[in-house]
Amino acid sequence: MALSGIQIFKFLPKTNCGECGVPTCLAFAMSLAAGKAELAKCPYVSEASKAALSEASAPPIRTVVIGSGDSAVKVGGETVLFRHEKTFVNRPGLALLLTDTMEDAEIAARVKRFGELRYPRVGLILKGELLAIESKSGDATKFKALVDKVKDVPEANFVLIANDVALLKAGAQALAGKKPLLCAATAANIDAVGALAKETACPVVVRAESLDGVAALTAKLEAMGVKDIVIDTGSRKIREAFIDQLALRRGALSGKNKAWGYPSIVFPNEMTQDPIMESLYAATFVAKYGGIIVLSDFRGETLFPILLERLNIYADPQRPMVTEPKVYEIGNVTENSPLLVTSNFALTYFIVSGEIEASRVGAYLLVVDTEGLSVLTAWAAGKFAGDLVGAALKKSGIADRTKNRKVVIPGLAAIISGDLEEELGPDWNVIIGPREASHIVPFLKQMVA
């Protein structure tokens, strides 16, 4: 459960040395409570305090890491039911299914898609993170051969899906050091699978037919000293699986069902044959609490939208998404293309650039660093003032790239035009653009007509 600043303060050295970057221990404690600082910034906190703090502040849903190194995927660690209450923290991992009954060519094509289907957006690369390797044949040799074939796929994390502990063991050995997720421990095999998870330090899925069954299995693993657990409630119908996700999250966050305090794994791939329905199920689990989402395939037309939804839902409502401040070329630009200016709030950038693109008028878009504030808010906060925008324009070097000397400012910030003209000097002509992005299309068409 989250601790208050005062509760955290009791564990700090109270020396007010300031080395953490804030002047007092109390202020640091407040920052920690607000999630704005990390305990590691304090060089003097004792190991005992550290352990006590991490125990006391452990989120009610455990964070589980699958894989190793930079591309490992972290799931769980959530603390709220609704994203607006704070934020969702760890984006659900998306897994691409491979089975040992697929042809070699099919496996190769899937692995290729796994590597290729990645999408740059707001400074991030959106992509799926996992390969889910399933034994359909039950044949250990085939399973091991498949694992061996794909074990070195770059940036892949793995889920091993088999009922037989011997297969999971073979797979885990082939993936030694890569911390695959073992799937699954059931009432029938939990002793053996639990022992394997402990021995290999791999995270493990528990699967039961009911939530009570899940609680019994996680309790058993905890007793064995296995902590990195992921829950499969066994439901393969969307309504049941949806309610299970709600139950797990509510039970864990309320503290009433501590045995449910782990991330989940869901299987839209087993819930329908229709790729669009499957994507709707995945969309449901992105919004409502899926931890790992297994997909029957990665197809650009459904994967890309799922990734966009995931980016949106997991965006931190307390921190605006920003885009890199620089000059963007939109459409086919020439040396006479118009120059527009906007803020670096990512949403503003997306909407403005989308409208410019829709106008089919090639244009330069100068994104000014407004610390993620939208145009009007940034102007009100003094971060979209005429002199700042002018300085950003000069610094961007756009004057060397175009002969055009007209700069279009957002209609909402019309008031800065005088200051901007002054800053830029007589070479430049400041034009007041539309107040709403939706009017950019007719505005640009008219401007170049």
Partner 1 sequence: MVDFPKVESNGTIKETTLGSGDKAFTIGGESAYPFHTFEGKMPHAPKLAMEVWDIAPSEWATELNVVFGDVYQDPVAWAKRCVELGADAVMLTLASTDPNGNNAPAAQAVETVKKVSKEIRSPLIVWGVENDAKDGETLRAVAEAIDDRPLVLGPVVEGNYKQVGAGAIGYKHFVVANSPIDINLAKQLNILLGNLGVKDQYVLMDPSVGGLGYGLEYTYSVMERARQAALTQGDDKLQFPLFCNVGKEVWKTKEAKTSEQQEPTWGVAKTRGIAMEAMTTVAFLLSGADLVVIRHPETLKTVRQYLAEMMQ
Q: Which stretches of the chain bind partner 1, using CB under 8 A?
A: 82-84, 116-119, 121, 210-212, 237-239, 242-243, 246-247, 250-251, 254, 256-257, 274-277, 279-280, 283-284, 287-288, 299-306, 308-309, 311-313, 315, 317, 347, 350-351, 354, 357-358, 438-439, 441-442
Neighbours of 75 (CB within 10 A): 29
Q: Please answer whether residues 203 and 197 qualify as being in contact, where contact means their C-beta atoms are separated by less than 8 angstroms.
A: yes
Give the nearest distance from C-beta 436 to partner 1 in angstroms. 8
The residue among 238 and 415 lying less far from partner 1, judged by its C-beta, is 238
Of 113 and 198, the one with the shorter C-beta distance to partner 1 is 113
Q: Compute the least distance from the CB of residue 214 to partner 1, in Å.
A: 9
What does DSSP say about strands 124-127 and 118-121: parallel, antiparallel, or unpaired?
A: antiparallel
We find the least distance from the C-beta atom of residue 357 to partner 1, in angstroms, to be 6
Report the residue number, 67 or 268, with the smaller CB distance to partner 1: 268
Cα angle: 339, vertex 438, 334; to 5 degrees = 25
CB 341 within 8 A of CB 349: no
Q: Which is nearer to partner 1, 202 or 346 (CB)?
A: 346
The one-letter amino acid code at 291 reads G
Structure tokens at 149: 């074939």
* Nearest C-alpha neighbor of 194 from the set 163, 216, 217: 217
CB of 120: closest distance to partner 1 in angstroms? 11
- Smallest separation, CB 17 to partner 1 (Å): 40
Q: Which is nearer to partner 1, 134 or 355 (CB)?
A: 355
Token code pair at residue 358: 């829709």
Per the structure block, which two tokens stand in for 419?
């200051």
- Secondary structure of residue 158 in the 3-state scheme: strand
DSSP state of 327: E
Residues 295 and 97 sit within 8 Å (Cβ to Cβ)? yes
**How far is 148 from 158, CA to CA, in rounded Å?**
12
21/300 with CB nearer partner 1: 300
Nearest by Cα to 78 from 227, 249, 229: 249
- How much is the CA Rg of the chain, to the nearest whole Å? 26
- 3-state secondary structure string, 76-136? ECCCCCCHHHCCCCCCCEEEEEEECCCCHHHHHHHHHHHHHCEEEECCEEEECCEEEEECC
Shortest distance, CB of residue 203 to partner 1, whole angstroms?
A: 24
Considering the complex, state which of residue 149 and residue 250 has its C-beta at the smaller distance from partner 1. Answer: 250
Q: Give the whole-angstrom CA distance, residue 33 versus residue 31.
A: 5
C-alpha–C-alpha distance, residues 366 and 248, integer Å: 46
Q: Please, what is the minimum distance in Å from the beta carbon of residue 244 to partner 1? A: 9
Q: Is the CB of 299 or the CB of 394 nearer to partner 1?
A: 299
Q: Least distance (Å) from partner 1 to the CB of residue 362?
A: 15
To partner 1, the closest distance from the beta carbon of 338 in angstroms equals 18
Token readout for 425 is: 């000097």
Q: Is residue 143 within 8 Å of 170, Cβ to Cβ?
A: yes
Smallest gap from residue 324 Cβ to partner 1 (A): 17
Which residue lies nearer to partner 1 by CB, 84 or 403? Answer: 84
Q: What are phi and psi of 65, to 5 degrees?
A: -105, 130
Nearer to partner 1 by C-beta: 147 or 215? 215
